[in-house]
Structure 1
């Protein structure tokens, strides 16, 4: 009796078709930034009548405007990277990836972990999601389990594309809770807006929980049949003799791989450490300052509550937690070096996107777009309009805080005029900023480096996710009340 392979569903066919087209046409992330610069300039010329000199000077004028904020974002990424690569965290990942028994289960687990850790920290969610995707892809290949690697990588990117801006590292939410922020200086708001009105408000928590469930359903439906799944080996070489995998499998089987340590040959590493070596690796010196920092962070929350969370507190806390995990200062520094290397593309591209901000603000283009969208809003549709506005701007300026500094004042004032609470405005904006990361490859650069993928290899499925999330987000932002909680 012969068996026939099931035909792909309509959603699976849609994902496969989108993947084929994007793989053919999508440029690299850096070229994407350059192309968007030209598009912004052309739009400013057509809409605002800006000349070549004004465009060039506006571009140059904005090029370095995000240096402080860019450094804060890179620190979020790097400090989270160091924590994610600690052996204890890696051991947890190695255990978890052995839970799924099918390709679909693998994709769902990676997506769930990415979205939950992304809520804790976008940097942590991005790196843990990338590590999870790669390790899951390698293990599936070893076990002969069919899993579609491009969709697995998109699942690892979902924390950055859905939940992060509602979470603990929310740029807009934390910026509004920072004393003396730009909106207080401009008189848009009289005081800080506490994270209890944004990140920790039941509205944001409900959005996060329901959206995770919906996204997992979409990932499940998108997973192609086993016959159409392309594994990790189609995109990168996999070493099946990897020592970490072998040791873990031996432990799972109850066997030991312990061997006598090799003797250091003459001319090799000096067996007797120097005083400088001892100082560099002194766990007391590293551990003491790390525990002090962790204690200061805990004291800040105990005395000021959850409203104490801002970008500086978040970065300080993650830096001290990382140092506490490694304790050895030199080990922490070496891991930090590796993390900075993975963020090199982001460091390069941040000024170019700041230049796009310069074009859009210097020529008045951003005001034209924002004012038009806000002008058609009603009290009921305003959250949806805020989401759309943020989504459009995020394509050109993939920086949650950078975008918010541009349009936040106008959005808050328009929302207040319509009777919309500031916290409601901020959280509706936040999802638009995160959602279009499924189109904009800027923040995927570290994930691409870890997973061995090109942007065009996975962004067909990322754009498919963006499209399938759109009707859900439009409906829930329209019907979910903020003041009911």
Structure 2
């Protein structure tokens, strides 16, 4: 059932929307002409760091050696990130979740409500798991655009990505927080600098990062600001471009599922189509998880590291798909979304090597300390993290690059290490509005290109990032 087309707003609102749309279109035109793709960013970033190393007195040979030494330093983390993407995709495309999406798509009745509702779902789901959100909300946006007449497909597509630009890093799958909480995921060089400020303890538990009250309040404020901005960013009916206008065909989600599940079976395929071992594996995994969290010495949250998140996703996907053949098919379809991680993360590791395995990290830490104090350090790091995020579009691997000197400077200024992880998370997420890397899975589902939505994401950046700077500055004094 389609919703009613929203009536046109007043003249003042039309003027405001036109101004925002003009800014968005100018920014989109700039990015289309001048910015490289995500892999180009990491290559450019490599030589920016190399030049920075030369400027600080490092020899070219030392930088080259450090680049090679760091190239494989993130190999375990690379696999973890790829598995999170694939696991999140497999959960999102399961039949029960597809039925849930079809029901949720009936909630909004007007184009403006549809865009705002999609924004809310994107942020809530990203807080739970960013990889699941990328696919789940994209499928939801596609179904809403089919059901609600007159919704702007570009705007709702941008809102489907909103969680990755706002709250994901403060949630249960935030890479930096999970990484510093797990010895297996955090490089030895990062653990060493953490230990210097924590009496020899090389990890920071989640209770000291994303689950502090300052972090929770900041996340809520960013959520409300982004939701309000989504409401005002929605274009009027006269300016909207629907999926049909863009030449994109939208088919009913449940019909697609029924067609895909109709397959010819051979007698020998009973194991692939039987839920027996999916159920048994799910029960085995549940048994392990109960024991795993129970062994956390009264703090189950501390047991939630990257490996545990991946295991939960895969077990949930297996149980939701019910039959092994459906699970295997979902993983095959989700694997291409992880190709960028597999290609680019080793190069991020090489950048990390040039920073962590030379004197460059101490030089940068010295600069940050010299121009800041306990109050100014947090907003300075926030701005720096957002800028670096344009070149290194990954919360986890970028954190590895920044951690040695951010934590090192925090130790010198007596700033809480856990708070600096929160500051990093809040600022790093905003950078995702400015580069297309993490948009790719969402765009693939929607059939859009980055240029179609980046005008809207840039407008959202202008609304959210100043709020982040105020939050990290105010809470730094508490």
TM-score tier, shorter chain, comes to 0.7 to 0.9
Cross-structure match for 1:77: 85
C-alpha distance in structure 2 between counterparts of 1:309 and 1:165, whole Å: 14
Offset at residue 61 of structure 1 (A): 5.2
Radius of gyration: which is bigger? 1
TM-score by length of 2: 0.85
Cross-structure match for 2:44: 38
Which of these residues, 9, 15, 22, is aligned with residue 9 of structure 1?
A: 15
Query: Closer, same or farther in 2 for the Cα pair 1:111/1:369, shift >3 Å?
Result: farther
Query: Closer, same or farther in 2 for the Cα pair 1:20/1:366, shift >3 Å?
Result: farther
Query: Closer, same or farther in 2 for the Cα pair 1:306/1:235, shift >3 Å?
Result: same
Cross-structure match for 2:54: 48
**Residues 327-363 of structure 1: per-residue CA shift (max 9 Å, x gap):** 3222211111111123334433334444554566677
C-alpha distance in structure 2 between counterparts of 1:58 and 1:419, whole Å: 29
Cross-structure match for 1:303: 295
Q: Is the 8 A contact 1:130 1:156 kept in 2?
A: yes
Q: Is the 8 A contact 1:33 1:352 kept in 2?
A: no
Cross-structure match for 2:4: none
TM-score by length of 1: 0.84
Q: Is the 8 A contact 1:117 1:159 kept in 2?
A: yes
C-alpha distance in structure 2 between counterparts of 1:371 and 1:82, whole Å: 45
Which of these residues, 228, 238, 243, is aligned with residue 239 of structure 2?
A: 228
Deviation larger for 464-473 or 370-379: 370-379
**Residues 179-208 of structure 1: per-residue CA shift (max 9 Å, x gap):** 364333454342232111112222221111
Offset at residue 303 of structure 1 (A): 3.4
Cross-structure match for 1:124: 132
RMSD value over aligned CA atoms?
Answer: 3.1
Offset at residue 388 of structure 1 (A): 1.7
Q: Is the 8 A contact 1:374 1:385 kept in 2?
A: no
Cross-structure match for 1:397: 392
C-alpha distance in structure 1 between counterparts of 2:158 and 2:118, whole Å: 9
Cross-structure match for 1:89: 97
Query: Closer, same or farther in 2 for the Cα pair 1:352/1:29, shift >3 Å?
Result: farther
Offset at residue 123 of structure 1 (A): 0.6
Cross-structure match for 1:255: none
**Residues 403-436 of structure 1: per-residue CA shift (max 9 Å, x gap):** 2222213222322333322221111111111110
Q: Is the 8 A contact 1:12 1:222 kept in 2?
A: no
Counterpart check, 1:66 vs 2:61 = no
Cross-structure match for 2:191: 184
Which of these residues, 383, 387, 399, is aligned with residue 378 of structure 2?
A: 383
* 1:233 alignment partner, SS class: coil
Which of these residues, 153, 157, 161, is aligned with residue 157 of structure 1?
A: 161
Q: Is the 8 A contact 1:236 1:452 kept in 2?
A: no
Q: Is the 8 A contact 1:291 1:324 kept in 2?
A: no
Matched residues, number: 456
C-alpha distance in structure 1 between counterparts of 2:477 and 2:101, whole Å: 36
C-alpha distance in structure 2 between counterparts of 1:4 and 1:115, whole Å: 26
Offset at residue 157 of structure 1 (A): 0.9
C-alpha distance in structure 1 between counterparts of 2:309 and 2:9, whole Å: 54
Deviation larger for 34-43 or 123-132: 34-43
Q: Is the 8 A contact 2:126 2:167 kept in 1?
A: yes
Offset at residue 386 of structure 1 (A): 2.4
Query: Closer, same or farther in 2 for the Cα pair 1:113/1:416, shift >3 Å?
Result: same
* 1:438 alignment partner, SS class: coil
C-alpha distance in structure 1 between counterparts of 2:177 and 2:134, whole Å: 19
* 1:298 alignment partner, SS class: helix
C-alpha distance in structure 1 between counterparts of 2:9 and 2:133, whole Å: 39
C-alpha distance in structure 1 between counterparts of 2:303 and 2:52, whole Å: 44
Cross-structure match for 2:174: 170
Which of these residues, 217, 221, 240, is aligned with residue 206 of structure 1?
A: 217
Offset at residue 29 of structure 1 (A): 8.6
C-alpha distance in structure 2 between counterparts of 1:213 and 1:399, whole Å: 24
Counterpart check, 1:335 vs 2:330 = yes
Matches within 5 A, 1:251-290: 269=264, 273-274=266-267, 276-290=268-282
Unaligned stretches of 5+ residues in structure 1:
249-260
Deviation larger for 331-340 or 7-16: 7-16
Matches within 5 A, 1:373-452: 373-452=368-447
Cross-structure match for 1:113: 121
C-alpha distance in structure 1 between counterparts of 2:87 and 2:253, whole Å: 26
